[in-house]
Structure 1
Amino acid sequence: MTKRTSAKYKIDRRMGENIWGRPKSPVNRREYGPGQHGQRRKGKMSDFGLQLRAKQKLKGYYGDLTERQFRRIFAEAERRRGDTGEILIGLLEQRLDAIVYRAKFVATVFAARQFVNHGHVLVNGERVNVPSYRVKEGDVVEVQQKSKQLASVLEASQLPERDVPDYIDADHSKMAATFTRVPNLSDVPYPVQMEPNLVIEYYAQN
Protein backbone atom coordinates (compact mmCIF):
# COMPACT_ATOMS: atom_id res chain seq x y z
CA MET A 1 0.00 0.00 0.00
CA THR A 2 1.34 3.43 -0.86
CA LYS A 3 2.58 5.41 2.11
CA ARG A 4 0.35 8.35 1.08
CA THR A 5 -3.01 6.58 1.03
CA SER A 6 -4.12 7.76 4.47
CA ALA A 7 -2.65 11.23 4.02
CA LYS A 8 -3.74 12.09 0.48
CA TYR A 9 -5.72 15.15 1.62
CA LYS A 10 -2.50 16.63 3.00
CA ILE A 11 -1.18 16.82 -0.56
CA ASP A 12 -4.16 18.98 -1.57
CA ARG A 13 -3.63 21.28 1.40
CA ARG A 14 0.12 21.43 0.90
CA MET A 15 -0.44 22.52 -2.71
CA GLY A 16 -3.34 24.78 -1.79
CA GLU A 17 -5.32 23.25 -4.66
CA ASN A 18 -7.83 20.45 -5.09
CA ILE A 19 -5.56 18.62 -7.54
CA TRP A 20 -7.90 15.65 -8.12
CA GLY A 21 -11.12 17.69 -8.13
CA ARG A 22 -12.62 15.64 -5.30
CA PRO A 23 -15.76 17.02 -3.65
CA LYS A 24 -14.46 16.10 -0.17
CA SER A 25 -11.09 17.82 -0.51
CA PRO A 26 -10.32 20.01 2.54
CA VAL A 27 -9.21 22.77 0.16
CA ASN A 28 -12.89 23.23 -0.68
CA ARG A 29 -13.37 24.44 2.91
CA ARG A 30 -10.02 26.01 3.76
CA GLU A 31 -7.36 27.03 1.30
CA TYR A 32 -4.49 27.39 3.76
CA GLY A 33 -1.84 24.73 4.30
CA PRO A 34 -1.76 22.05 7.01
CA GLY A 35 -0.14 22.47 10.42
CA GLN A 36 0.04 25.23 12.99
CA HIS A 37 1.67 27.67 10.57
CA GLY A 38 -0.67 26.95 7.68
CA GLN A 39 -2.64 30.18 8.02
CA ARG A 40 0.34 32.50 7.84
CA ARG A 41 0.23 34.98 5.01
CA LYS A 42 2.26 33.74 2.08
CA GLY A 43 4.75 36.01 0.38
CA LYS A 44 5.39 36.09 -3.34
CA MET A 45 6.86 32.77 -4.44
CA SER A 46 10.28 32.74 -6.10
CA ASP A 47 10.88 31.23 -9.53
CA PHE A 48 12.46 28.21 -7.81
CA GLY A 49 9.41 27.92 -5.55
CA LEU A 50 7.07 27.96 -8.53
CA GLN A 51 9.13 25.31 -10.30
CA LEU A 52 9.30 23.12 -7.20
CA ARG A 53 5.55 23.48 -6.65
CA ALA A 54 4.84 22.47 -10.26
CA LYS A 55 6.99 19.35 -9.83
CA GLN A 56 5.39 18.44 -6.49
CA LYS A 57 1.92 18.92 -7.91
CA LEU A 58 2.57 16.63 -10.88
CA LYS A 59 4.26 14.01 -8.70
CA GLY A 60 1.43 14.21 -6.18
CA TYR A 61 -1.29 13.86 -8.79
CA TYR A 62 0.03 10.46 -9.91
CA GLY A 63 -0.01 9.03 -6.39
CA ASP A 64 2.88 11.01 -4.93
CA LEU A 65 5.60 9.25 -6.90
CA THR A 66 9.02 9.12 -5.29
CA GLU A 67 11.66 11.52 -6.55
CA ARG A 68 13.60 8.59 -7.97
CA GLN A 69 10.57 7.33 -9.95
CA PHE A 70 9.68 10.77 -11.22
CA ARG A 71 13.25 11.66 -12.15
CA ARG A 72 13.57 8.43 -14.14
CA ILE A 73 10.41 9.23 -16.12
CA PHE A 74 11.61 12.78 -16.72
CA ALA A 75 15.01 11.54 -17.90
CA GLU A 76 13.32 9.32 -20.48
CA ALA A 77 11.12 12.19 -21.67
CA GLU A 78 14.24 14.32 -22.04
CA ARG A 79 16.01 11.66 -24.15
CA ARG A 80 13.17 11.42 -26.64
CA ARG A 81 12.88 13.72 -29.62
CA GLY A 82 10.10 16.28 -29.34
CA ASP A 83 8.50 18.51 -26.70
CA THR A 84 9.82 17.22 -23.36
CA GLY A 85 6.81 18.51 -21.40
CA GLU A 86 4.30 16.82 -23.69
CA ILE A 87 6.31 13.58 -23.69
CA LEU A 88 6.51 13.66 -19.87
CA ILE A 89 2.72 13.90 -19.60
CA GLY A 90 2.30 11.10 -22.13
CA LEU A 91 4.64 8.80 -20.17
CA LEU A 92 2.81 9.50 -16.92
CA GLU A 93 -0.55 8.79 -18.55
CA GLN A 94 0.77 5.48 -19.89
CA ARG A 95 1.31 4.11 -16.39
CA LEU A 96 -1.03 1.21 -15.69
CA ASP A 97 -2.29 2.73 -12.44
CA ALA A 98 -3.11 5.95 -14.32
CA ILE A 99 -5.09 4.02 -16.95
CA VAL A 100 -7.02 2.12 -14.24
CA TYR A 101 -7.85 5.46 -12.60
CA ARG A 102 -8.77 7.20 -15.86
CA ALA A 103 -11.05 4.30 -16.87
CA LYS A 104 -12.96 4.77 -13.58
CA PHE A 105 -12.32 1.24 -12.34
CA VAL A 106 -11.39 2.77 -8.97
CA ALA A 107 -12.13 6.06 -7.21
CA THR A 108 -8.62 7.44 -6.70
CA VAL A 109 -5.13 7.11 -8.15
CA PHE A 110 -3.99 5.74 -4.78
CA ALA A 111 -6.65 3.04 -4.97
CA ALA A 112 -5.50 2.31 -8.54
CA ARG A 113 -1.96 1.57 -7.37
CA GLN A 114 -3.24 -0.75 -4.66
CA PHE A 115 -5.72 -2.39 -7.05
CA VAL A 116 -2.93 -3.21 -9.52
CA ASN A 117 -0.57 -4.35 -6.74
CA HIS A 118 -3.17 -6.82 -5.50
CA GLY A 119 -3.44 -8.49 -8.90
CA HIS A 120 -6.93 -7.36 -9.93
CA VAL A 121 -5.87 -6.12 -13.39
CA LEU A 122 -5.16 -7.83 -16.71
CA VAL A 123 -3.36 -6.30 -19.70
CA ASN A 124 -4.17 -8.09 -22.95
CA GLY A 125 -5.41 -11.03 -20.90
CA GLU A 126 -2.29 -11.34 -18.73
CA ARG A 127 -2.20 -10.38 -15.06
CA VAL A 128 0.07 -7.41 -14.36
CA ASN A 129 0.68 -6.28 -10.77
CA VAL A 130 3.20 -3.49 -11.44
CA PRO A 131 1.56 -0.01 -11.21
CA SER A 132 4.33 1.60 -13.27
CA TYR A 133 3.88 -0.87 -16.16
CA ARG A 134 3.76 1.13 -19.39
CA VAL A 135 0.60 0.56 -21.40
CA LYS A 136 0.96 0.87 -25.17
CA GLU A 137 -1.51 2.11 -27.77
CA GLY A 138 -4.06 -0.62 -28.49
CA ASP A 139 -3.52 -2.46 -25.19
CA VAL A 140 -6.65 -3.66 -23.42
CA VAL A 141 -6.74 -3.16 -19.65
CA GLU A 142 -9.38 -5.20 -17.86
CA VAL A 143 -10.52 -5.94 -14.33
CA GLN A 144 -10.11 -9.67 -13.82
CA GLN A 145 -13.34 -11.66 -13.68
CA LYS A 146 -13.54 -12.36 -9.94
CA SER A 147 -12.96 -8.68 -9.13
CA LYS A 148 -15.60 -7.17 -11.44
CA GLN A 149 -18.36 -7.31 -8.83
CA LEU A 150 -16.37 -5.64 -6.06
CA ALA A 151 -18.47 -2.85 -4.54
CA SER A 152 -15.60 -0.36 -4.84
CA VAL A 153 -15.29 -1.06 -8.59
CA LEU A 154 -19.02 -0.75 -9.25
CA GLU A 155 -19.23 2.48 -7.25
CA ALA A 156 -16.19 4.04 -8.97
CA SER A 157 -17.63 3.49 -12.45
CA GLN A 158 -20.67 5.56 -11.46
CA LEU A 159 -18.76 8.52 -10.01
CA PRO A 160 -20.21 11.73 -11.46
CA GLU A 161 -17.22 13.92 -10.59
CA ARG A 162 -15.07 12.91 -13.59
CA ASP A 163 -15.43 11.48 -17.07
CA VAL A 164 -13.32 8.97 -18.97
CA PRO A 165 -11.07 10.92 -21.40
CA ASP A 166 -11.38 10.28 -25.12
CA TYR A 167 -7.99 8.54 -25.42
CA ILE A 168 -9.40 5.65 -23.40
CA ASP A 169 -12.27 3.59 -24.78
CA ALA A 170 -13.93 2.17 -21.65
CA ASP A 171 -16.73 -0.40 -21.52
CA HIS A 172 -18.00 -0.60 -17.95
CA SER A 173 -20.35 -3.48 -18.77
CA LYS A 174 -17.21 -5.56 -19.35
CA MET A 175 -14.94 -3.56 -17.01
CA ALA A 176 -12.42 -3.27 -19.85
CA ALA A 177 -10.72 -0.29 -21.47
CA THR A 178 -8.57 0.16 -24.56
CA PHE A 179 -5.77 2.73 -24.52
CA THR A 180 -6.27 4.24 -27.96
CA ARG A 181 -3.49 6.83 -28.09
CA VAL A 182 -0.91 8.70 -26.04
CA PRO A 183 -2.48 12.03 -25.04
CA ASN A 184 -1.12 15.55 -25.24
CA LEU A 185 -1.22 17.85 -22.22
CA SER A 186 -4.39 19.53 -23.54
CA ASP A 187 -6.15 16.14 -23.72
CA VAL A 188 -5.63 15.22 -20.07
CA PRO A 189 -8.54 16.20 -17.79
CA TYR A 190 -6.56 17.71 -14.92
CA PRO A 191 -8.86 19.59 -12.51
CA VAL A 192 -6.05 22.13 -11.99
CA GLN A 193 -3.43 23.61 -14.28
CA MET A 194 -0.33 21.46 -14.65
CA GLU A 195 2.86 23.18 -15.80
CA PRO A 196 5.38 20.65 -17.13
CA ASN A 197 7.39 23.56 -18.59
CA LEU A 198 8.21 24.62 -15.01
CA VAL A 199 9.22 21.04 -14.19
CA ILE A 200 11.69 21.15 -17.09
CA GLU A 201 13.08 24.45 -15.75
CA TYR A 202 13.41 22.92 -12.27
CA TYR A 203 15.48 19.97 -13.48
CA ALA A 204 17.55 22.20 -15.78
CA GLN A 205 18.73 24.16 -12.75
CA ASN A 206 19.01 21.36 -10.18
Structure 2
Amino acid sequence: MSKRSSAKYKLDRRMGENVFGRPKSPVNKREYGPGQHGQRRKGKLSDFGIQLRAKQKLKGYYGDVTEKQFKRAYSEAARMKGDTGQNLIGLLERRLDAVVYRAKFAPTIWAARQLVSHGHVRVNGVKCNIASRRIDVGDEITLGAKAQEMALVLEAQGLAERDIPDYVVPDGAAKVTFTRVPTLDEVPYPVRMEPNLVVEFYSR
Protein backbone atom coordinates (compact mmCIF):
# COMPACT_ATOMS: atom_id res chain seq x y z
CA MET A 1 0.00 0.00 0.00
CA SER A 2 1.24 3.49 -0.82
CA LYS A 3 1.64 5.72 2.21
CA ARG A 4 0.83 9.38 1.76
CA SER A 5 4.04 11.28 2.37
CA SER A 6 2.53 14.78 2.49
CA ALA A 7 -0.79 16.53 2.93
CA LYS A 8 -2.97 15.91 -0.10
CA TYR A 9 -3.72 19.57 -0.74
CA LYS A 10 -0.01 20.35 -1.11
CA LEU A 11 -0.32 18.84 -4.57
CA ASP A 12 -3.01 21.42 -5.41
CA ARG A 13 -0.79 24.31 -4.32
CA ARG A 14 2.22 22.93 -6.16
CA MET A 15 0.29 22.44 -9.38
CA GLY A 16 -1.78 25.62 -8.99
CA GLU A 17 -4.92 23.62 -9.78
CA ASN A 18 -7.75 22.01 -7.80
CA VAL A 19 -6.57 18.53 -8.80
CA PHE A 20 -9.26 16.66 -6.82
CA GLY A 21 -12.11 19.11 -7.53
CA ARG A 22 -12.87 19.53 -3.82
CA PRO A 23 -14.44 22.69 -2.36
CA LYS A 24 -11.90 22.67 0.53
CA SER A 25 -8.92 23.03 -1.82
CA PRO A 26 -6.63 25.96 -0.83
CA VAL A 27 -6.29 26.82 -4.54
CA ASN A 28 -9.87 28.15 -4.38
CA LYS A 29 -8.53 30.96 -2.17
CA ARG A 30 -4.85 31.13 -3.11
CA GLU A 31 -4.04 30.46 -6.74
CA TYR A 32 -0.32 31.05 -6.27
CA GLY A 33 2.26 28.47 -5.23
CA PRO A 34 3.38 27.63 -1.69
CA GLY A 35 6.24 29.27 0.19
CA GLN A 36 7.35 32.87 0.68
CA HIS A 37 8.16 33.30 -3.02
CA GLY A 38 4.98 31.62 -4.25
CA GLN A 39 3.42 34.89 -5.45
CA ARG A 40 6.32 35.76 -7.72
CA ARG A 41 5.86 35.25 -11.43
CA LYS A 42 6.98 31.76 -12.36
CA GLY A 43 9.72 31.20 -14.88
CA LYS A 44 8.99 29.32 -18.07
CA LEU A 45 9.11 25.55 -17.61
CA SER A 46 11.36 23.43 -19.79
CA ASP A 47 9.92 20.52 -21.78
CA PHE A 48 11.21 18.19 -19.07
CA GLY A 49 9.52 20.34 -16.40
CA ILE A 50 6.18 20.24 -18.23
CA GLN A 51 6.39 16.45 -18.60
CA LEU A 52 7.40 16.02 -14.95
CA ARG A 53 4.44 18.14 -13.77
CA ALA A 54 2.05 16.06 -15.89
CA LYS A 55 3.44 12.88 -14.33
CA GLN A 56 3.28 14.28 -10.76
CA LYS A 57 -0.30 15.45 -11.28
CA LEU A 58 -1.54 12.11 -12.65
CA LYS A 59 0.39 10.08 -10.06
CA GLY A 60 -0.82 12.34 -7.25
CA TYR A 61 -4.44 12.16 -8.39
CA TYR A 62 -4.46 8.39 -7.85
CA GLY A 63 -3.40 8.79 -4.23
CA ASP A 64 0.30 9.31 -4.87
CA VAL A 65 0.92 5.71 -5.90
CA THR A 66 4.57 4.75 -5.55
CA GLU A 67 6.94 5.51 -8.43
CA LYS A 68 7.58 1.78 -8.78
CA GLN A 69 3.84 1.01 -9.19
CA PHE A 70 3.32 3.94 -11.56
CA LYS A 71 6.27 3.05 -13.77
CA ARG A 72 5.14 -0.58 -13.85
CA ALA A 73 1.70 0.58 -15.06
CA TYR A 74 3.38 2.70 -17.76
CA SER A 75 5.58 -0.22 -18.90
CA GLU A 76 2.51 -2.46 -19.17
CA ALA A 77 0.59 0.25 -21.05
CA ALA A 78 3.50 0.59 -23.50
CA ARG A 79 3.42 -3.18 -24.23
CA MET A 80 -0.33 -3.14 -24.96
CA LYS A 81 -1.78 -2.46 -28.39
CA GLY A 82 -3.11 1.01 -29.12
CA ASP A 83 -2.33 4.43 -27.63
CA THR A 84 0.00 4.16 -24.61
CA GLY A 85 -1.49 7.21 -22.87
CA GLN A 86 -5.04 5.84 -23.16
CA ASN A 87 -3.83 2.41 -22.01
CA LEU A 88 -2.20 3.99 -18.94
CA ILE A 89 -5.42 5.76 -17.96
CA GLY A 90 -7.33 2.50 -18.44
CA LEU A 91 -4.93 0.61 -16.16
CA LEU A 92 -5.08 3.29 -13.45
CA GLU A 93 -8.90 3.35 -13.56
CA ARG A 94 -8.94 -0.43 -13.09
CA ARG A 95 -7.26 -0.20 -9.68
CA LEU A 96 -9.64 -1.34 -6.94
CA ASP A 97 -9.19 1.86 -4.88
CA ALA A 98 -9.99 3.96 -7.98
CA VAL A 99 -13.20 1.99 -8.67
CA VAL A 100 -14.27 2.32 -5.01
CA TYR A 101 -13.66 6.09 -5.29
CA ARG A 102 -15.59 6.33 -8.59
CA ALA A 103 -18.49 4.40 -7.01
CA LYS A 104 -18.75 7.16 -4.36
CA PHE A 105 -18.11 4.69 -1.56
CA ALA A 106 -15.44 7.11 -0.23
CA PRO A 107 -15.01 10.91 -0.38
CA THR A 108 -11.32 10.78 -1.40
CA ILE A 109 -8.98 8.32 -3.10
CA TRP A 110 -7.12 7.92 0.23
CA ALA A 111 -10.33 7.08 2.07
CA ALA A 112 -11.10 4.55 -0.69
CA ARG A 113 -7.68 2.95 -0.19
CA GLN A 114 -8.27 2.80 3.57
CA LEU A 115 -11.67 1.14 3.08
CA VAL A 116 -10.03 -1.52 0.93
CA SER A 117 -7.03 -2.10 3.22
CA HIS A 118 -9.32 -2.48 6.25
CA GLY A 119 -11.22 -5.28 4.52
CA HIS A 120 -14.53 -3.50 3.91
CA VAL A 121 -14.67 -4.21 0.15
CA ARG A 122 -15.55 -7.40 -1.70
CA VAL A 123 -14.81 -8.23 -5.33
CA ASN A 124 -17.27 -10.77 -6.76
CA GLY A 125 -18.24 -11.66 -3.18
CA VAL A 126 -14.67 -12.28 -1.98
CA LYS A 127 -13.04 -9.90 0.51
CA CYS A 128 -10.04 -8.08 -0.94
CA ASN A 129 -7.68 -5.77 0.96
CA ILE A 130 -5.24 -4.99 -1.87
CA ALA A 131 -5.90 -1.46 -3.14
CA SER A 132 -3.82 -1.92 -6.31
CA ARG A 133 -5.73 -5.05 -7.38
CA ARG A 134 -6.75 -4.78 -11.01
CA ILE A 135 -10.46 -5.01 -11.68
CA ASP A 136 -11.73 -6.80 -14.80
CA VAL A 137 -14.75 -5.87 -16.92
CA GLY A 138 -17.84 -7.43 -15.37
CA ASP A 139 -16.45 -7.56 -11.82
CA GLU A 140 -18.86 -6.63 -9.02
CA ILE A 141 -17.57 -4.48 -6.16
CA THR A 142 -19.58 -4.55 -2.94
CA LEU A 143 -19.30 -2.72 0.37
CA GLY A 144 -19.41 -4.80 3.54
CA ALA A 145 -22.43 -4.38 5.86
CA LYS A 146 -20.37 -2.60 8.52
CA ALA A 147 -18.95 -0.10 6.02
CA GLN A 148 -22.40 0.82 4.71
CA GLU A 149 -23.18 2.50 8.04
CA MET A 150 -19.89 4.40 8.33
CA ALA A 151 -20.17 8.20 8.40
CA LEU A 152 -17.35 8.41 5.82
CA VAL A 153 -19.32 6.33 3.30
CA LEU A 154 -22.59 8.17 3.92
CA GLU A 155 -20.77 11.49 3.45
CA ALA A 156 -19.28 10.31 0.15
CA GLN A 157 -22.63 9.14 -1.22
CA GLY A 158 -24.15 12.54 -0.49
CA LEU A 159 -21.41 14.52 -2.27
CA ALA A 160 -22.75 16.77 -5.00
CA GLU A 161 -19.29 17.64 -6.37
CA ARG A 162 -18.94 14.47 -8.48
CA ASP A 163 -21.11 11.85 -10.17
CA ILE A 164 -20.63 8.13 -10.75
CA PRO A 165 -19.26 7.71 -14.31
CA ASP A 166 -21.03 5.55 -16.95
CA TYR A 167 -18.49 2.71 -16.80
CA VAL A 168 -19.25 2.07 -13.09
CA VAL A 169 -22.89 0.96 -12.90
CA PRO A 170 -24.54 1.06 -9.44
CA ASP A 171 -26.91 -1.63 -8.21
CA GLY A 172 -28.38 -0.18 -5.03
CA ALA A 173 -26.30 1.86 -2.57
CA ALA A 174 -23.60 -0.72 -1.83
CA LYS A 175 -22.82 -2.51 -5.09
CA VAL A 176 -21.41 -1.49 -8.47
CA THR A 177 -20.34 -3.32 -11.63
CA PHE A 178 -17.29 -2.27 -13.66
CA THR A 179 -18.71 -2.47 -17.18
CA ARG A 180 -15.84 -1.33 -19.41
CA VAL A 181 -12.36 0.18 -19.43
CA PRO A 182 -12.82 3.93 -19.95
CA THR A 183 -11.02 6.20 -22.38
CA LEU A 184 -9.41 9.48 -21.27
CA ASP A 185 -12.48 11.48 -22.36
CA GLU A 186 -14.80 9.38 -20.19
CA VAL A 187 -12.85 9.74 -16.95
CA PRO A 188 -14.32 12.63 -14.87
CA TYR A 189 -11.07 14.40 -13.98
CA PRO A 190 -11.68 17.85 -12.40
CA VAL A 191 -8.59 19.17 -14.22
CA ARG A 192 -6.95 18.40 -17.55
CA MET A 193 -4.74 15.33 -17.45
CA GLU A 194 -2.10 14.84 -20.15
CA PRO A 195 -1.01 11.18 -20.28
CA ASN A 196 0.74 11.87 -23.60
CA LEU A 197 3.25 14.03 -21.67
CA VAL A 198 3.72 11.22 -19.14
CA VAL A 199 4.54 8.89 -22.05
CA GLU A 200 7.08 11.44 -23.33
CA PHE A 201 8.59 11.69 -19.82
CA TYR A 202 9.22 7.94 -19.56
CA SER A 203 10.27 7.42 -23.17
CA ARG A 204 13.07 10.01 -23.06
Q: TM-score range by the shorter chain?
A: over 0.9
What secondary structure does 2:20 align onto? coil
- Is 2:137–2:180's contact at 8 Å kept on the other side of the alignment? yes
Q: Does 1:59 align with 2:80?
A: no
CA displacement, residues 80-136 of structure 1 (integer Å, 9 cap, x when unaligned): 111101000000000000000000000000111111111110000000000000000
Give distance in 2, aligned partners of 1:5 and 1:51. 22
Q: For residue 45 of structure 2, what is the aligned residue in structure 1?
A: 45
Corresponding residue number in structure 1 for 2:150: 150
SS at match of 2:44: coil
Residue 190 of structure 2 corresponds to residue 191 of structure 1: yes
Q: Is the 8 A contact 2:105 2:153 kept in 1?
A: yes
**Distance (Å, rounded) in 2 between the aligned partners of 1:69 and 1:63:** 12
The Cα offsets for residues 117-167 of structure 1, whole Å up to 9 and x where unpaired, read as 111100000000000000000000010122211111111111000000000
Alignment correspondent of 1:202: 201
- CA distance in 2 between partners of 1:193 and 1:75 (Å): 22
* SS in structure 1 of the partner of residue 170 of structure 2: strand
Match of 1:12 in 2: 12
Matches within 5 A, 1:20-99: 20-99=20-99
Partner in structure 2 of residue 163 of structure 1:
163
The number of equivalent residue pairs is: 204
Write the letter of the residue equivalent to 2:200. E
Unaligned runs of 5+ in 1: none
Please report the RMSD computed on the Cα atoms of aligned residues, expressed in angstroms.
1.3
Secondary structure class of the residue paired with 2:189: coil
Q: CA separation in 2, counterparts of 1:141 and 1:50?
A: 36
Q: Runs of 5+ in structure 2 lacking a partner?
A: none
Q: CA deviation at 1:5?
A: 7.5
Q: Distance in 2 between matches of 1:182 and 1:3?
A: 26
Give the whole-Å Cα distance in 2 for the aligned partners of 1:53 and 1:77: 20
Whole-angstrom distance in 2 between the partners of 1:161 and 1:171: 21
TM-score for both structures, normalised by structure 1: 0.95
Measured after TM superposition, the shift of residue 171 of structure 1 is 3.1
CA contact (8 A) 1:2 1:114 kept: no
Q: Which runs of 4+ in 1 moved over 4 A?
A: none
> Aligned residue for 2:121?
121
